[in-house]
């Protein structure tokens, strides 16, 4: 049973911050080093200082980017740059964005949801996580005691929970509205009516929640709850650490979009790359595509076009350094069944990301679990052109270009209790950080009791 409750959110004070685009940012895990610098320079109160502060050579266990984040957070609260709402609310949000010249809108509900272990089948993951990232995020939570970014989750909304909330705010101006640097327009409404709270909470009780983006944050929240419980003598079921801030959107929402997460690999031996195409030919039908003239745009466009045309089968594009060719690899029939039928369930064997991880990474390239768990050696991009050129200009040694995972596959995998390889999906747009935050202390100094 999913337990969804309102909470007293922490928001930027509109009297002091009149343009939220200057202080908000994407989630920490999709921010590049260059973007991190830009957000730091954009505004001295940008949320980047909370979610992705800069490290220094003189950092210690007691003075580092996490402790600086806590100092910023507490200072911003004390000076009323951030203020906590006086009464509990659900926060309805909308984001308007353009994809391939088509305008789309996605709605979401930000609330607290009770943390549940995955084995209970209430909140379900679909991807593996990196252990190093979880431990790093836990250190941040231990000093800040807050959720700065909501976990992006999905549920089947055939009963129209979000529609009822949209109706409830139809005649109300949004409490906040702004357009971010990517041209996405964000709106937020506070919903404080207790009757609506009860109706929504009751409607969500029988829902299964599927994590779309934020697996690390959810698992870290579980670890944080256990840490708080161990260090709090009177810890109770009502303690805020039993909950996590979550953004919930409908699987049926017309604005629900999944982009591919292309892989860009570093530190691959030249001898491995030189023999890759020959070795892969045992398992794939391979079409070689010359880069061509016109700044290689022709070759890129052809690879992307042919990859999309083969979305119904397992097809993967390849771009390698020090070569003038691209490759489209189409899996030969029954390969995954013959190799991995005893190891992998059928639902996983049919995924492009499983073909990439289990067959290409582990079988052909020889990766072990430690290599797969090293987040420093695998970068990701949702833009095929950037991933292709990443190998060409030396950002990485080889890039693998994918078609997107479909939402029904995410639901199928999660419901069966299975786990996809890391970064199997890239839900777009990400849920922006800085619209609302969640306090995890029972009583914050100078604040109200939760």
- If asked whether residues 275 and 162 sit together in one domain, one would say no
Q: Give domain status of residue 413, yes or no.
A: no
Q: Give domain status of residue 408, yes or no.
A: no
pLDDT of res. 293: 58
- If asked whether residues 246 and 271 sit together in one domain, one would say no
Nearest-angstrom CA–CA distance, 415 and 124? 7
- 325-331 and 284-290 strand pairing: antiparallel
pTM: 0.84
pLDDT of res. 449: 41
Whether the CB-CB separation of 106 and 250 falls below 8 Å is answered with no
- If asked whether residues 248 and 281 sit together in one domain, one would say no
The total number of structural domains in the chain stands at 2
Whether the CB-CB separation of 84 and 73 falls below 8 Å is answered with no
Q: Give domain status of residue 342, yes or no.
A: yes
Query: Tokens in use for 94?
Result: 């909308």
Q: Give domain status of residue 421, yes or no.
A: no
- If asked whether residues 227 and 315 sit together in one domain, one would say no
- If asked whether residues 162 and 289 sit together in one domain, one would say no
- If asked whether residues 233 and 268 sit together in one domain, one would say no
Q: Which domain holds residue 353?
A: 261-403
Q: Give domain status of residue 412, yes or no.
A: no
What is the distance, to the nearest Å, from the Cα of residue 424 to the centroid of all Cα atoms in its chain? 11
Nearest-angstrom CA–CA distance, 3 and 179? 32
Q: Give domain status of residue 410, yes or no.
A: no
Nearest-angstrom CA–CA distance, 171 and 192? 15
- If asked whether residues 299 and 184 sit together in one domain, one would say no
Query: Tokens in use for 438?
Result: 């969640």
Q: Give domain status of residue 414, yes or no.
A: no
pLDDT of res. 145: 97
- If asked whether residues 197 and 235 sit together in one domain, one would say yes
Nearest-angstrom CA–CA distance, 358 and 267? 19
Cis-peptide into 429, omega within 30 deg:
yes
- If asked whether residues 39 and 92 sit together in one domain, one would say yes
pLDDT of res. 295: 59
Question: pLDDT tens track of the chain, all 450 residues?
Answer: 899 999 999 999 999 999 999 999 999 988 989 999 999 999 999 999 999 999 988 899 889 999 999 999 999 999 999 999 999 999 999 999 998 789 999 999 999 999 999 999 999 888 777 777 889 999 999 999 999 999 999 999 887 899 889 998 989 999 999 999 999 999 999 999 999 999 999 999 999 999 999 899 999 999 999 999 999 999 999 999 999 999 999 999 999 999 899 999 999 999 999 999 999 999 999 999 987 656 578 889 999 999 999 999 999 999 999 888 999 999 999 999 999 999 999 999 999 999 999 999 999 999 988 888 787 888 889 899 999 999 988 899 999 999 999 888 888 888 888 888 878 888 999 999 999 999 999 765 444 443
Q: Give domain status of residue 91, yes or no.
A: yes
- If asked whether residues 268 and 252 sit together in one domain, one would say no
What is the distance, to the nearest Å, from the Cα of residue 407 to the centroid of all Cα atoms in its chain? 15
- If asked whether residues 17 and 119 sit together in one domain, one would say yes
Query: Tokens in use for 301?
Result: 């466009």
- If asked whether residues 241 and 341 sit together in one domain, one would say no
pLDDT of res. 450: 39
């Amino acid at each position: 049973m999913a337990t969804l409750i309102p909470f007293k959110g922490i928001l930027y004070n509109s009297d002091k911050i009149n343009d939220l685009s200057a202080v908000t940012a994407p989630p920490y895990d999709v921010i590049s080093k260059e973007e991190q610098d830009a957000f730091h320079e954009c505004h001295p109160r940008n949320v980047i200082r909370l979610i992705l502060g800069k490290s220094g050579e003189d950092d210690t266990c007691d003075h580092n980017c996490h402790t600086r984040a806590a100092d910023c957070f507490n200072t911003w609260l004390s000076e009323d740059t951030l203020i906590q709402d006086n009464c509990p609310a659900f926060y309805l949000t909308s984001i308007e964005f353009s994809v391939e010249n088509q305008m789309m809108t996605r709605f979401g509900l930000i609330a607290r949801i009770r943390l549940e272990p995955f084995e209970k089948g209430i909140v379900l993951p679909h991807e593996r996580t990196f252990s190093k990232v979880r431990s790093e995020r836990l250190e941040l939570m231990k000093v800040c005691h807050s959720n700065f970014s909501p976990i992006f989750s999905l549920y089947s909304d055939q009963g129209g929970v979000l529609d009822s909330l949209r109706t409830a705010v139809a005649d109300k101006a949004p409490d906040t509205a702004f357009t971010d640097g990517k041209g996405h327009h964000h709106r937020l409404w506070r919903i404080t009516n207790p009757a609506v709270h009860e109706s929504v909470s009751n409607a969500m009780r029988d829902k299964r929640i599927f994590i779309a983006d934020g697996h690390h944050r959810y698992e870290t929240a579980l670890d944080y709850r256990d840490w708080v419980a161990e260090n709090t003598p009177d810890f109770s079921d009502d303690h805020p650490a039993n909950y996590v801030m979550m953004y919930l959107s409908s699987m049926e929402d017309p604005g629900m979009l999944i982009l591919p997460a292309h892989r860009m690999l570093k530190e691959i031996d030249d001898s491995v790359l030189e023999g890759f195409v020959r070795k892969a030919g045992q398992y794939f039908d391979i079409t070689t595509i010359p880069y061509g003239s016109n700044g290689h745009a022709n070759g890129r466009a052809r690879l992307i076009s042919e990859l999309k045309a083969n979305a119904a089968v397992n097809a993967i594009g390849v771009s390698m350094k020090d070569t003038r060719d691209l490759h489209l690899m189409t899996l030969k029939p029954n390969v995954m069944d013959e190799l991995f039928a005893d190891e992998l369930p059928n639902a996983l064997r049919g995924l492009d990301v499983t073909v990439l991880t289990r067959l290409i990474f582990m079988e052909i390239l020889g990766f072990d679990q430690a290599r797969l768990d090293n987040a420093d050696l695998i970068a990701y991009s949702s833009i095929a052109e950037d991933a292709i050129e990443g190998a060409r200009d030396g950002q990485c040694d080889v890039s693998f270009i994918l078609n997107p995972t479909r939402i029904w596959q995410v639901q199928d995998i999660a419901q069966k209790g299975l786990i996809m390889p890391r970064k199997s999906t890239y839900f777009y747009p990400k849920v922006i950080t800085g619209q609302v935050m969640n306090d995890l202390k029972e009583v914050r100094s100078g604040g109200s009791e939760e």
